[in-house]
Structure 1
Amino acid sequence: MATDRVAPAAAGVAHNGVVRTREVRVGELPLLQEIERAAGECFREVGMAAVADDEPPSVAELTPFLAAGLAWVAVDDEDRPAGYLLAERIDGALHVEQVSVHPAHARRGIGRTLLEHAAARARAEGLPALTLTTFADVPWNAPYYARCGFRPVPDDALGPGLREVRAREAAHGLDRWPRLVMRREL
């Protein structure tokens, strides 16, 4: 479930400002878990230790995204993942299930590049929008996504798939903090 771990730190990944994305490779799934853990640490700083302590998805949980061709990484100059995005098709849109950037590579456009990669994929599939769920009051969550063109979706406008996503998040305890669904038309 999405916890939007695009960490607010500074360092570089891209050479000459270019961020390269590609599909995740099977052997990299444990690296995605490492990125998730590292990026989650920033939640401690805003009083959300439970989010920081939440274990990342298992390799078994990550594998279906890889098999569907909906798992991408942004890589550094050595082709090592610095951030990743997982997506799935929900309610006729491409839903960003998770986007995380390692803090050592944050604030260099990696999250935005991954979102643009997902948007290009959605357009290629004829999907009209990207959707995601996020924390409303965390600066690198909803305010960040608003700057990326996402807009809040009222609860009464959610399709059945997004209602199910929200129910899973609530059952997982994420509703301890305000959450919302956002959508970006393509």
Structure 2
Amino acid sequence: MSDACIIRQARLDELPRLTEIEIDAFATLAEALGVVREPHALPQDILRESLDAGLLLVAADDDDWPVGFLAAEEIAGTLYVIELDVCRDWQRRGVGRRLMSAAIEMARACRLRALTLTTERNVPFNAPFYESLGFVLPRAEAVPQFLQKKLDQEIEVGMDPERRVAMVLAL
């Protein structure tokens, strides 16, 4: 299997495949967190909104089959990364980094001031990965209001407040 993949805009007919990727990738996260729970995926309407806004990227293999994706939305002058997933067969091969690099370039082209996201603090392929790209954990008082609201919503649905963090990459 080649490590080659291209980053491109997603297509409408690929949305079901992106759900498959997210569910597959969840197994790696669940293992890293030591949790047993049913995988969940973004609702199709969230993917569709990201697609319609031109903010849904896929990493496709040599056969143009999606193996990873990044969904984002523009909020308060930032590009908020809703979801980044890579199917297990393609993890640890630079696909997530390439998707994030493309998102950074997309945000710069749109003249946005930052990329923002929420993630798991201690999982190596979450917060430490984003730190390697230049993201920082803002002080509590410096977390943008919309980003704090995202964290609060995640905690309301059962995510651990000790593990969830907001991160920002200033552009």
TM-score range, shorter-chain basis?
A: over 0.9
1:132 aligns with 2:117: yes
Distance 1:165 1:154 in 2: 16
Contact 2:23 2:41 in 1 (8 A): yes
Contact 1:153 1:180 in 2 (8 A): no
Of 172-181 and 19-28, the range deviating more from structure 2: 172-181
Mark the runs of 5 or more structure 2 residues left unpaired by the alignment.
none
1:117 aligns with 2:99: no
- For 1:178, the equivalent position in structure 2 comes to 163
Deviation of residue 63 (structure 1)? 0.9
Report the TM-score when normalising by structure 2. 0.92
Deviation of residue 31 (structure 1)? 0.4
Deviation of residue 176 (structure 1)? 5.4
CA distances 1:88-117 after superposition (whole Å, capped 9, x unpaired): 112321111110001101111111111111
Counterpart residue type for residue 58 of structure 1: P
Distance 1:92 1:44 in 2: 32
Distance 2:160 2:68 in 1: 25
Q: Give the aligned length.
A: 170
Moved over 3 A (4+): none
CA distances 1:101-140 after superposition (whole Å, capped 9, x unpaired): 0110111111111111111111011112111111001111
Of 92-101 and 149-158, the range deviating more from structure 2: 149-158
Contact 2:27 2:39 in 1 (8 A): no
User: What percentage of residue pairs aligned between the two structures are identical?
Assistant: 39
- For 2:81, the equivalent position in structure 1 comes to 96
Distance 2:90 2:156 in 1: 32
Alignment of 1:23-38 (within 5 A): 23-38=9-24
1:48 aligns with 2:35: yes
Counterpart residue type for residue 155 of structure 2: A
Change (3 A) 1:120 1:67: same
Contact 2:148 2:166 in 1 (8 A): no
Deviation of residue 49 (structure 1)? 2.3
